[in-house]
Amino acid sequence: MTKTPIDAALAEELHRIAPDIEVADIDRTQDLREEFDIDSMDFLTLVTALGKRFDLDMPEADYPKMQSYDALLSYLCGKTA
Amino acid sequence: MSAFLMPSLGADMEAGTLVEQLMSPGDSVTRGDVIAAVETQKGVIEIEVFEDGVLEDWLVDPGTKVPVGTPLAMIRSASHSGADPDAPEPEAPQPHDPKPAPMPREDPAPHDPAPQGPGPEVPAPKGPFPEIPMPEDRARTEAQPNRPRQRISPAARRLAAQTGVDLNRLTPGAGKPITRSDIAAMAGDQPEAQSDMRAAIAAAMSRSKREIPHYYLSHSVDLTRAEAFISAENATRAPDDRLLLGALYLKALACAVKKVPEMNGTFEEGEFHQSKAVHVGLAIALRSGGLVAPALIDTDRQNLDDLMRSMRDLIARVRAGRYRARELSEGTITLTSLGERGVDQLYGVIYPPQVAIVGIGTPALRAWVEGTIVVPRLTATLTLAADHRVSDGRRGALFLSAIAKHLQAPETL
């Protein structure tokens, strides 16, 4: 069960950027930026933070794999496995 | 000796609350040092000192709301540092002060021109100002000389200022920073921060619509090359160093201003003052509602990497409710971008006393005619709202075309 700590880390980083929105309240399969109301700068900040936290490149070419909360979570799980 | 005054941080500001003294009497200060934080309708602003010297004394206690122009502190200038400290003090307002002493406001109408210019023409204030404590009257407030600085979160400081909670009553306990909930507990009820922000926007935008004869233009721009340029650059960059289209917009705007300089400046006291410096105000939406447009100082002198860093820094501070004074008072033109998830175009309202605002709609793949064929291209709609007292549509059109041209040659930015 490697999902739990990564899930928690993702929720924590998102909370830093969008403190007014709870992960429990969003649709995890829908567009991440719309669900959390974050712009491209916020998204870059999120990617930067996650990249540092998990020591990942998080290349821009992979952004399409990070479009929803669930997609981003499985991307992180796959990369850190 | 000179007085450090409550600055005017925009035409809509009449008063501010000193919320934090970041330096103590006796500290050396250098031009540009942040010495205080002031709460305004827009949030907490870090205030810089304008000269080198030594902070002699604070004249206003934290938590006190005072009109623009009120002396907050006395600064002994570096050139006089050897002088007798008991020498008689000159009158408080100095030549570089932004505004003469505050007068009781008889006219509630908010149409006064912004008190921006350094005022050689400003008549010297006559006589003392009864409400303002001068150094002589200060003995009683100096009872707590080296009070250790409290660690307090920006949100808590803001709430304290709004609710009138006296930060001195808080015991700086065990190295633990004071949080918003500590203040809320002391204040008892929740304030309406949002209404302050809305009031500030309402004042500025009402003045804009009342005073500025706007004209509007729009132009479609092909961003395919700009996007490709960013992707190619970012492919080899760590997230920290990646570029966003926003940095290109800023740079293209700053370049275009050189060609059509009458878009860049302020209209005050009946005339246009063209600005040599280019400080592009960036409209930033706040999560709590409302928006601000703090300026990126010297936008034109920064390359794309510098601009990215400046934008990140500015946006992070704005989100934390923390600005610098210059950022709110020295914008020369505004850029507002709808980002990647917005709508096609926007019609900006000029932020007075500026004379132009450029809007960039959300880029999307659209049908574009190239030569004789229709191709899908990433395009966006640029819009301009400009002040007809200063320029005409023909110059405005030249300006928008120049921005578009620069965006189509991103490698030259």
Quote the ipTM score: 0.88
What pLDDT shows up at residue B34? 85
pLDDT higher than 70, residue B263: yes
* Partners of residue A37 in chain B, C-beta under 8 Å: 287
> Which of A31, A41, A61 is facing B315, going by the closest CB pair?
A41
Contact A51 B234 (CB under 8 A): no
pLDDT higher than 50, residue B145: no
pLDDT higher than 90, residue B329: no
Structure tokens at B100: 């003469």
Q: Please report which confidence band the pLDDT of residue B313 belongs to, taking 50, 70 and 90 as the band edges.
A: very high
Mean pLDDT over each residue of chain B, to the nearest integer: 80
Structure tokens at B190: 């929740």
What pLDDT shows up at residue B196? 80
pLDDT higher than 70, residue B266: yes
The whole model's pTM is what?
0.68
How far does A24 lie from chain B, in Å, by closest CA?
A: 19
A17 or B387: which carries more pLDDT confidence?
Answer: B387
Average pLDDT for B56-60: 90
Q: Please report which confidence band the pLDDT of residue A51 belongs to, taking 50, 70 and 90 as the band edges.
A: very high
Which residues 6+ apart lie within 8 Å of B339 measured at CB?
A39, A40, B362
Contact A20 B287 (CB under 8 A): yes
> Which of A31, A37, A60 is facing B242, going by the closest CB pair?
A60
pLDDT higher than 80, residue B374: yes
B403 or B290: which carries more pLDDT confidence?
Answer: B403
Average pLDDT for B135-147: 41
For A65-75, how does the pLDDT look when each residue is reduced to its tens digit (9 = 90+)?
999 999 999 99
pLDDT higher than 70, residue B5: yes
Separation of alpha carbons B22 and B217, rounded Å: 46
pLDDT higher than 70, residue B17: yes
What pLDDT shows up at residue B336? 96
Q: Please report which confidence band the pLDDT of residue B115 belongs to, taking 50, 70 and 90 as the band edges.
A: very low
Contact B239 A41 (CB under 8 A): no
